[in-house]
Structure 1
Amino acid sequence: MAKWGMVIDLDKCTGCQACTTACAMENNTLPGESWQDVLFYHEGEYPSGQMKWLPRPCMQCEKPSCVYVCPTRATYKDESAGGIVFVDWNKCIGCKYCMIACPYGVRFYSDEKPLIEPDMRDIYPGQNKQLWSPPYQNPKEDWSRGIGIQPPGVVSKCTFCYHKVSQAPEGTVDFDEDNPAVKEYVPACVRTCAPKARYFGDLDVPESQVNQLIGDKHGVRLKDHTGNKPQVYYLGAGAAVPAFTPADKGDKS
């Protein structure tokens, strides 16, 4: 059984936010809602310090605190789906307990005021309890896994593009956008990364590219002291990643 993981090389990442845009288009996220944040911060004394950035997807934790606090079991970790953490929109009551419990700040509530104007939900209104209907919406809708156009009053999050990954040929270990056999199944953020700073594959296979990178380049996990055990690893000289809190966004001095 696969265990999907992502590796992000901070030495290669340029902070271009192509991952943010690709994710929004692929997953129909609401205006201003970024499942793939790139956080910018200032390291050192201002103004002589250095501007840096940190890409931050959902960590798909091995021991996700968001799952433990959900009163309706809407948030769950599916080992049969590679250990991805999903939100069942049929069960979610929008209590936001999972958002509070998540130490990474990577969950979003659909009814909050949009971060950008105009509100695209007003421009492309939807039907059947849907708040909007963008012209680029993904046809593979699965509310039990939080995939599609999210209904009102629910929490949403990154799914590692499960609707793509799950269609890959059986036995696929490495998802390389340069491999014609699997490129259509590569998560949108990985496939769109221009400097090839992102890698995706099976953490349960020792020979996989992600495992080799983690071992050879001493991959680290964000906020590992929390015990959540993320399935996302960081590489590079900047891999001593800062201890961001969910509220940490924008420049830091």
Structure 2
Amino acid sequence: MVIDLDTCTGCQACTTACAMENNRLPGENWQDVLFYHEGTYPNVKLMWFPRPCMHCENPSCVSVCPTKATYKDPDGGFVLMDYNKCIGCKYCQVACPYGVRFYVDEKAVVQPDIRGVFPSEAGRQWDPPYKGPQDDPSRGIGIQPHGVVSKCTFCYHKVSKAPKGVADLDEDIPELKEYVPACVRVCAPKARFFGDLDQPQSMVNKLIADKRGVRLKDETGNKPQVYYLSGGATASVPSLRSMNDSGQS
């Protein structure tokens, strides 16, 4: 995934689309947009930073999972969750340097707790009336049961069905739009792109090369598969620590 920070307007359409596509609880934002302040008074600017799961090439969350519930998909490189194996130990939450994992069995992030409005009789977190048909607990797809950790799947249930050999998944190509991740498909300013880095002709490869794409906290060795563009200026990509220190909301 490639995210152009110069184009992103912080509208949070990605957050909303992801929540609807993946039946997320309010506040459980797999596609989060972090807001923070930059500069000093009186020259203070409100900034924003979109932050999905990085689906790392070398994910620390996988190496610490005692039950192998978190794993790398051998075909597409996705980092996925097996709800059937997760014991809710939260080791993966601690190991992830990006803060993109969620454990929602505790107090609801947003009140009132909507789980009481749409309770589930199947041992899951809730049963919203608008839930989608996709359900694959072995890949962390669908409404999770109690006592497990959840995370962004890059819309595996959509992307994995795309025709083989496609370089880019673009919502502007009619025959491919149903396979595009929800956050990419709804991005109004066209700030998100999704494609195959192994194909030199892919748009994501060209964007990363032309605008010197960078990866967040690359010093961790996790090798994220999300690249940020900002006119080649790496200083425009903040670290999570700098956002916390500057008044992230």
**Deviation sequence 1:65-112 (CA, Å, 0-9, x none):** 0001001110001131x1000010000000000000000000000202
Percent identical residues: 70
**How far apart, CA to CA, are the structure 2 residues paired with 1:248 and 1:163?**
33
Conserved? CA contact 2:55–2:78, under 8 Å: yes
2:78 equivalent to 1:72:
no
The residue aligned with 2:9 is 14
The residue aligned with 1:84 is 78
**How many angstroms does 1:43 deviate by?**
1.1
User: What are the within-5 Å matches in structure 2 for residues 73-112 of structure 1?
Assistant: 73-80=68-75, 82-112=76-106
Q: Normalising by the residue count of structure 1, what TM-score does the alignment of the two structures yield?
A: 0.93
Residues 234, 67 of structure 1: alpha-carbon distance in 2 compared, 3 angstrom cutoff: same
Q: Which amino acid aligns with 2:44?
A: G
**Deviation sequence 1:127-150 (CA, Å, 0-9, x none):** 121121011212110000100011
More divergent stretch after superposition (215-224 vs 164-173)? 164-173
The residue aligned with 2:186 is 192
The residue aligned with 1:50 is 45
**Deviation sequence 1:173-215 (CA, Å, 0-9, x none):** 2111110010011000000100000000011111111011001
Q: Normalising by the residue count of structure 2, what TM-score does the alignment of the two structures yield?
A: 0.95
2:57 equivalent to 1:62:
yes
**Per the alignment, in what secondary structure is the counterpart of residue 116 of structure 2?**
helix
Residues 13, 69 of structure 1: alpha-carbon distance in 2 compared, 3 angstrom cutoff: same
**How far apart, CA to CA, are the structure 2 residues paired with 1:37 and 1:239?**
21
The residue aligned with 2:119 is 125
**How many angstroms does 1:42 deviate by?**
0.9
The residue aligned with 2:239 is 243
From 194, 205, 218, the counterpart of 2:212: 218
Residues 249, 39 of structure 1: alpha-carbon distance in 2 compared, 3 angstrom cutoff: farther
Gaps spanning 5+ residues in structure 1: where?
Answer: 1-5
**How far apart, CA to CA, are the structure 2 residues paired with 1:28 and 1:139?**
10
The residue aligned with 1:3 is none
Conserved? CA contact 1:43–1:252, under 8 Å: no
Residues 192, 211 of structure 1: alpha-carbon distance in 2 compared, 3 angstrom cutoff: same
**How far apart, CA to CA, are the structure 2 residues paired with 1:44 and 1:246?**
12
**How far apart, CA to CA, are the structure 2 residues paired with 1:120 and 1:42?**
31
Gaps spanning 5+ residues in structure 2: where?
Answer: none
**Per the alignment, in what secondary structure is the counterpart of residue 144 of structure 1?**
helix
**How many angstroms does 1:223 deviate by?**
0.2
Over aligned residue pairs, what C-alpha RMSD do you find? Answer: 1.8
Q: Which amino acid aligns with 1:213?
A: L
The residue aligned with 2:19 is 24
**Per the alignment, in what secondary structure is the counterpart of residue 79 of structure 1?**
coil
Conserved? CA contact 2:37–2:246, under 8 Å: no
Conserved? CA contact 2:36–2:246, under 8 Å: yes
Q: Which amino acid aligns with 2:64?
A: V
**How many angstroms does 1:247 deviate by?**
9.3
**How far apart, CA to CA, are the structure 2 residues paired with 1:107 and 1:249?**
21
Q: How many residues align?
A: 247
- The structure with higher relative contact order (CA 8 Å, sep 6+) is 1
